[in-house]
Amino acid sequence: MEDRLVFLIGAPRSGTTLLARMLGAHSMVYQRAEPHLITPIAHLGYFGKVQKAPYDQNNVEQALREFVADLPRGEADYLDALRAYTDTMYARIMANAAGKQLFLDKTPAYTLVLPFLTKLYPKARYLVLTRHPLAILSSYVESFFDGDWHVAVEHNPILARYVPALAAMLRERPVPFVHVRYEELVRDPETQFHRVCEHLGIPFEAGAIAYGEQGDAPKGLGDPTGVAQHTRPVTTSVSRWAAEIAANPDVLALVARLVDELDPADLETLGYPRDRIVAQLEAAKGAPVPVKRGAPLRYRLERRALVALRRNIHTNRLGRVLKRVRFALDVMLRE
């Protein structure tokens, strides 16, 4: 399967759904909602391990390392075994692909296990999509936390996790890839999609850019607050984040701290230097905050309930019950 796989690498809310929708509209590319096949097997104990499990993960790690050490080809044999599993899953799902040649796996969490993924599939095709870090954070907060910045950051320090991982990929280049910036993709989708198609070895199809005219996306891909509201790339979200952050002193202070905690070299590598970020925030002070198009009412209510549960989960005496409710809501919202 390796020569038929395309991995789209990027942080959550960085435009991966947009590019995936465009690629999914191509006659040679098949996609599904985020498969999440790679992340679990990256944490079986040899390359990484889970923090909590219904078994002794420390014993598993030791046993697995000893077992792999006794294999004839060591780690290479272990990777072959893991690849046999994922190859089977990818190949079987391609039975639904109606003659398409490539399978697109767009799972943002893979960004956090890139050293493992690039060992597992060094000859697959890779696309790396980056977006302004604060645009990512702003979209993440609004989409999943109903605008509560503090709860969002406490729940998942998304910039601290994804910025270094993406910067390392761009610097070290463990595998060949094409790098696309979200801002350039929405401003000039034809040029950027040409680059993507050339890297994948497939013909450019202009019609794929108007992804919304090609039918419905796979269930579970994206959410109702973003790409699903349009039929092709738009630039409305390129710079909106700056005014939203600058308009709230409390949020501005929080964001300034988060930016200070990032390595300036990583920001430079991604193409969003720290000095430019600071200047953008300064220039946005006093600017009118753009009006956002609201998500469906059901989605907004679910998000608000979820944020309330996350905010109170550690202090409420009914914590155990709330955790169960939160889990149920999480599952429901990921549909």
Residue 327, classed as helix, strand or coil, is: helix
* pLDDT (0 to 100) of residue 221: 47
Q: Please tell me the least confidently modeled range out of 49-58, 81-90, 171-180, 297-306.
A: 297-306
Q: Which amino acid is at 315?
A: T
Question: The dihedral of CA 166, 172, 178, 181: what is its sign?
Answer: positive
49 strand-pairing partners: 44
Q: Which of 44-48, 147-151, 176-180 has the lowest mean pLDDT?
A: 147-151
Residue 294: predicted pLDDT: 55
End-to-end CA distance of the chain: 28
pLDDT band of residue 149 (cuts 50, 70, 90) is very high
Q: Which of 178, 173, 230 is nearest to 199 (CA)?
A: 178
Mean pLDDT across 169-174: 98
Mean of the pLDDT values across residues 264-277? 96
Q: How confident is the model at residue 214 (pLDDT cuts 50, 70, 90)?
A: low
Contact partners, residue 276, CB within 8 Å, separation at least 6: none
**SS3 state of residue 7:** strand
> By mean pLDDT, which of 71-80, 90-99, 158-167, 298-307 is the weakest?
298-307
Nearest to 78 by CA among 88, 90, 64, 92: 64
* Overall average pLDDT of the 285-301 stretch: 62
Q: Tell me the helices (H) and strands (E) count for the chain, helix number first.
A: 16, 5
Crossing angle of helices 133-145/158-172, nearest 10°? Answer: 140
Q: Which CATH architecture has domain 2-294?
A: 3-Layer(aba) Sandwich (3.40)
Say yes or no to pLDDT of 186 above 90: yes
Q: Residue 52: is its pLDDT beyond 80?
A: yes
Predicted pLDDT of residue 144: 85
**Average pLDDT in the 37-66 region?**
94
Residue 231, pLDDT above cutoff 80: no
Amino acid at 92: R
Report the chain's mean pLDDT, rounded to a whole number.
87
Of residues 145 and 272, the one with the higher pLDDT is 272
Judge whether residue 224 has pLDDT over 70. no
pLDDT band at 220 (very low <50, low <70, confident <90, very high): low
pLDDT band at 174 (very low <50, low <70, confident <90, very high): very high
Question: What's the half-sphere exposure (Cβ side, CA atoms, 13 Å) at 107?
Answer: 19
The pLDDT confidence band at residue 31, using thresholds 50, 70 and 90, is very high
Full-model pTM: 0.84
Rounded CA Rg of the chain: 21
Q: 194 φ, ψ to 5°?
A: -60, -45
Q: Distance (Å, rounded) from C-alpha 199 to C-alpha 71? A: 36
pLDDT band for 315, please (50, 70, 90 cuts).
low
pLDDT of 239 reads 74
> Of the ranges 21-30, 228-237, 282-291, which one carries the lowest mean pLDDT score?
228-237
pLDDT value of position 335? 43
Task: Determine the average pLDDT of the residues in 87-113.
Answer: 95
pLDDT the model gives residue 155:
87
| Section 325-334 average pLDDT | 67
In percent, the amount of the chain with pLDDT more than 90 equals: 66
CA distance 274 to 114: 25
Q: Answer yes or no: is pLDDT of 54 > 50.
A: yes
Q: Is the pLDDT of residue 86 over 80?
A: yes
Interval 12-21: pLDDT, tens: 999 999 999 9
Each residue's pLDDT tens digit, 156-168: 899 999 999 999 9
Provide the residue count of the chain.
335
Domain range list for the chain = 2-294, 296-335
The DSSP 8-state label assigned to residue 295 in this structure reads P
Lateral strand order in the sheet of 125-130: 29-31, 102-105, 5-9, 125-130, 177-181
**Helices 133-145 and 274-284: angle between axes, nearest 10 degrees:** 60
Contact by Cβ (8 Å): 178, 196 = yes
With contact defined as beta carbons under 8 Å apart, do 116 and 48 qualify? yes
